């Protein structure tokens, strides 16, 4: 697994910031009731969490980490539900089409960027963990169990 480039990490964080900030600034400046603003804000936050959950569940399965079918299903259902809630809310909203398009695009940008940031964070963590178990930390072996076995033997010797 390669570590993500600094440019991709920066672009992902920038996209996440732009997506979330534009959505929130749009809500702040919108001429709608506070409960409507709260609805759209909650859909955004729930959508970000759901998208990250889907990314994690899919990645865990690909890496052989057990994921229950219930969690996997709930993650996908939540992501789809957020998109449906946004579409229904915007469909019934009394606002210009350009505003509806703005909220749709900033929402989708935020969701995509959240997935990319989660992926980058996980890839970086994996790359960092591989660095912890490199040959410079223990003699010659790249197997983590050898490293832990050496630690236990050293502790027993003391």
Q: Is residue 127 part of a domain?
A: no
Q: Is residue 105 part of a domain?
A: yes
Q: Is residue 17 part of a domain?
A: yes
Averages of pLDDT over runs of 10 residues in the chain (158 residues) are 84 96 94 93 96 94 92 96 96 93 96 94 83 50 48 51
- Which of 43, 35, 58 lies closest to 108 in space, CA to CA? 43
Q: Is residue 155 part of a domain?
A: no
- Which of 91, 92, 86 lies closest to 104 in space, CA to CA? 86
Q: Is residue 99 part of a domain?
A: yes
Q: Is residue 140 part of a domain?
A: no
Strands (E), 21-157: none
Q: Is residue 134 part of a domain?
A: no
Q: What's the number of domains the chain is made of?
A: 1
User: Mind listing the pLDDT tens digit for each residue in 144-154?
Assistant: 454 445 445 54
Range of the domain at 18: 6-121
pTM: 0.76
Q: How far apart are CA 144 and CA 158, in angstroms?
A: 22
Q: Is residue 143 part of a domain?
A: no
């Amino acid at each position: 697994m390669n570590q993500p480039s600094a440019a991709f990490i920066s672009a992902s964080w920038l996209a996440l910031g732009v997506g979330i900030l534009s959505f929130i600034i749009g809500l702040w400046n919108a001429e709608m009731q506070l409960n409507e603003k709260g609805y759209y804000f909650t859909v955004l936050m729930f959508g970000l969490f759901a998208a990250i959950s889907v990314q994690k569940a899919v990645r865990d399965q690909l890496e052989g980490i057990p994921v229950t079918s219930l969690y996997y299903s709930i993650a996908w259902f939540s992501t789809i539900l957020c998109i449906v809630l946004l579409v229904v809310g915007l469909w019934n909203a009394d606002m210009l089409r350009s505003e509806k398009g703005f909220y749709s695009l900033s929402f989708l940008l935020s969701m995509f960027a959240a997935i990319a940031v989660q992926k980058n964070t996980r890839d970086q963590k994996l790359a960092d963990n591989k660095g912890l178990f490199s040959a410079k930390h223990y003699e010659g072996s790249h197997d983590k169990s050898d490293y832990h076995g050496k630690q236990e033997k050293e502790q027993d010797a003391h």
